[in-house]
């Protein structure tokens, strides 16, 4: 089996929640990219965007993705924009299996509209904008994914079982 299990997808599609459950189910280490970047920088992601700008954050993401090659087999919860850089995707495909989680714009809105910590949706936290950005990013998500799992209306248990079956089938 390839080393890491990368969970990718739009904000609010369940990457963090399901990475936690997957890590419990598999005994793997969980790597939450946003959390690690925030811890290294000593500030939250939205603060990094505000103080240093998005390109700085994207460089930190690329650096972390490259560092993952040295880590033990893990479940990696990526940031929603990690796959926007092709060099990140190339490394992820070499180092693991890439699973795309999907959710409808309405579900995403329901899950994240009260959190206030998504800088790319600042001032645009509404379903039409989420739909537009999701569509714009769809080609990048689809190109990066080895598998896709829809999350709407499913429990974490169901989603993770589906992921593990897909991963095991290609191992
Ligand atoms: C981003 C998604 C966020 C975080 C940053 C940028 C994006 O992660 O990395 O705010 O561009 O989609 P989540 O998908 O975990 O919210």
Cβ atoms of 163 and 24 closer than 8 Å: no
Q: What is the mean pLDDT of residues 129-153?
A: 97
- Residue-wise pLDDT for 97-128, tens only, equals 999 999 999 999 999 999 888 999 999 999 99
How far is CA 92 from its chain centroid? Answer: 12
For the Cβ of 37 lying below 6 angstroms from any atom of ligand 1, the answer is no
Closest among 90, 65, 93 to 79, alpha carbons compared: 65
Beginning with the edge strand found earlier in the chain, give each strand of the sheet holding 4-8 in spatial order: 29-32, 74-77, 4-8, 96-102, 147-150
pTM: 0.97
Residue-wise pLDDT for 20-71, tens only, equals 999 999 999 999 999 999 999 999 999 999 999 999 999 999 999 999 999 9
**Ligand 1 atom 9 nearest Cα:** 79
Distances in Å between the Cα of 39 and the Cα atoms of 35, 45, 75, 77, 156 are 6, 9, 18, 15, 26
Atom 10 (ligand 1) nearest CA: 118
pLDDT digits (tens, 9 = 90+) for 58-100: 999 999 999 999 999 999 999 999 999 999 999 999 999 999 9
Ligand 1: does its nearest atom lie under 6 Å from the Cβ of 45?
yes
């Amino acid at each position: 089996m390839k080393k890491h299990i990368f969970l990718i997808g739009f904000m609010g599609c369940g990457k963090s929640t399901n990475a936690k459950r997957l890590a419990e189910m598999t005994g793997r280490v969980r790597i939450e990219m946003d959390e690690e970047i925030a811890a290294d920088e000593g500030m939250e992601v939205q603060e990094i965007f505000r103080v240093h700008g998005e390109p700085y954050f994207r460089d930190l993401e690329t650096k972390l993705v490259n560092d993952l090659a040295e880590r033990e087999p893990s479940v990696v919860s990526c940031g929603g924009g990690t796959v926007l850089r092709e060099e990140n995707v190339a490394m992820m495909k070499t180092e693991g299996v890439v699973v795309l989680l999907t959710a409808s714009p309405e579900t995403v809105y329901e899950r994240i509209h009260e959190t206030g910590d998504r800088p790319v949706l600042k001032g645009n936290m509404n379903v039409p904008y989420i739909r537009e950005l999701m569509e714009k990013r769809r080609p990048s998500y689809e190109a990066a994914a080895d598998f896709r799992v829809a999350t709407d209306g499913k429990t974490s248990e169901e989603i993770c079982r589906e992921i593990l079956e897909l991963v095991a089938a290609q191992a």
